[in-house]
Homo-oligomer: A and B are copies of this chain.
Amino acid sequence: MRTMTFRDALREALHEEMARDESVFVIGEDVVAHGGPYAVTQGIKERFPNRIFETPIAEAGIVGAGVGAALAGMRPVVEIMYLDFITCAMDEVVNQAAKMRYMTGGQASVPMVIRLPCGVGRLLAAQHSQIMESWFMHVPGLQVVVPSTPHDAKGLLKTAVRSPDPVLFFEYKRLYVAEGPVPEDEYVIEFGKADIKREGEDATVIAIGPMVQKALEAGIALEDDGFDIEVVDPRTLSPLDVDTICASVAKTGRAVICEEDSSFAGSGAEIAATIAERCFHDLQAPVVRVGSPHVPMPFAAPLVDRVVPGVAQVADAVRRVME
């Protein structure tokens, strides 16, 4: 199979969906110039000149416009340059987009995708490195999607564009250059279906976004310890595939949950709580969460390295649950 980068996979998904459906359009800051800071929207201006809108710096205006266009039957793909700036448009996301269907008794549909480059990239410190998946999980009416590979990025983005309800699409910046196989044939990936990225018998590692790759690497290292881990990638955090997660934990009896964000009230908390509720009789060791400490992202590289969890932390956590 051909391989491509995460970034190219996203771009291909966008191009395909825009070609397939005239109601899809792109809106965001600097999305034309370089195709955005991560070049995901490159080539769209040339190919679909009337369906890409470069905006003033006004995130509430951007998302608000997306909500309205979606209500009017279009399918906006909104780019928020850095996830951190979605804080400027939370009313639009939470009080407008998410609740419109419910408040209107099912009449309204808001088929909008908000793409959110997130996490640490270059060293840009506290206002350019956040993740915040758990915020959006907590809001009924939103779907939260977190691809970990180029394959999933493409399939999930295509599904997101087709969804009749709003999608928060998390793109970890450090994944943009990740390479992986992507089929030539068209495919989509259903929401709410976790993917078992590695099968194993001894412990279940539920890993989100970039932690999937780190968990897989930890898995190789742990073979030397004689531990065979299963790596479960939820792929969508809302809806969350509780069944697949619990089935794996039932098999292994042990659960480690890995996220790059602060674990305190993070996305892993919901997963850990669900396991605690549903898998009590299967668990042979306490659930362990791996995530960043509860601090803003610092600037200096040595500090950043202590914040972002790595392969070693995942492996250590597995060793702990195997004790």
Closest B residue to A132 by beta carbon equals B138
Contacts of A94 in B (CB 8 A): 87, 130
Contacts of A85 in B (CB 8 A): 91
Distance in angstroms from A44 CB to nearest chain B CB is 28
Verify if A57 is at the interface (C-beta below 8 Å from B): no
Cβ–Cβ contact B102 & A264, under 8 A = no
Distance in angstroms from A142 CB to nearest chain B CB is 10
Number of copies: 2
Q: How far is the CA of A93 from the CA of B261 in the complex (A)?
A: 18
Q: Which of B126, B127, B138 contacts A135 (CB 8 A)?
A: B138
Closest B residue to A278 by beta carbon equals B286
Cβ–Cβ contact A285 & B280, under 8 A = yes
Q: Which of A47-55, A178-186, A287-295 participates in binding chain B?
A: A287-295
Distance in angstroms from A143 CB to nearest chain B CB is 12
13 additional contacts (CB under 8 A) given A134-B134, A280-B286: A87-B94, A99-B127, A132-B138, A135-B138, A137-B264, A138-B262, A140-B262, A238-B264, A238-B265, A269-B273, A272-B277, A280-B287, A281-B286
Q: How far is the CA of A298 from the CA of B88 in the complex (A)?
A: 26
Contacting residues of chain A (96-140) with chain B, CB-CB under 8 angstroms? 98-99, 102-103, 125-127, 130, 132, 134-135, 137-138, 140
Closest B residue to A299 by beta carbon equals B103
Verify if A275 is at the interface (C-beta below 8 Å from B): yes
Verify if A12 is at the interface (C-beta below 8 Å from B): no
Contacts of A166 in B (CB 8 A): none
Distance in angstroms from A169 CB to nearest chain B CB is 17
Contacts of A269 in B (CB 8 A): 265, 269-270, 272-273
Main secondary structure of the interface of A (DSSP, over half): mixed
Q: How far is the CA of A88 from the CA of B262 in the complex (A)?
A: 24
Q: How far is the CA of A199 from the CA of B17 in the complex (A)?
A: 59
Distance in angstroms from A308 CB to nearest chain B CB is 14
Contact with B along A139-159 (1 / 0, CB 8 A): 011000000000000000000
Cβ–Cβ contact A296 & B98, under 8 A = yes
- Chain B CB within 10 Å — which of A99, A130, A132, A278 has the most? A99
Contact with B along A2-13 (1 / 0, CB 8 A): 000000000000
Cβ–Cβ contact A103 & B90, under 8 A = no
* Chain A to chain B contacts (Cβ below 8 Å), 24 pairs: A94-B130, A95-B126, A95-B127, A98-B296, A99-B296, A102-B295, A102-B298, A103-B125, A103-B127, A103-B296, A134-B134, A134-B138, A137-B264, A138-B265, A140-B262, A140-B296, A265-B265, A265-B267, A269-B269, A273-B287, A276-B286, A277-B286, A280-B287, A281-B286
Distance in angstroms from A222 CB to nearest chain B CB is 20
- Chain B CB within 10 Å — which of A276, A283, A296 has the most? A276
Closest B residue to A298 by beta carbon equals B102
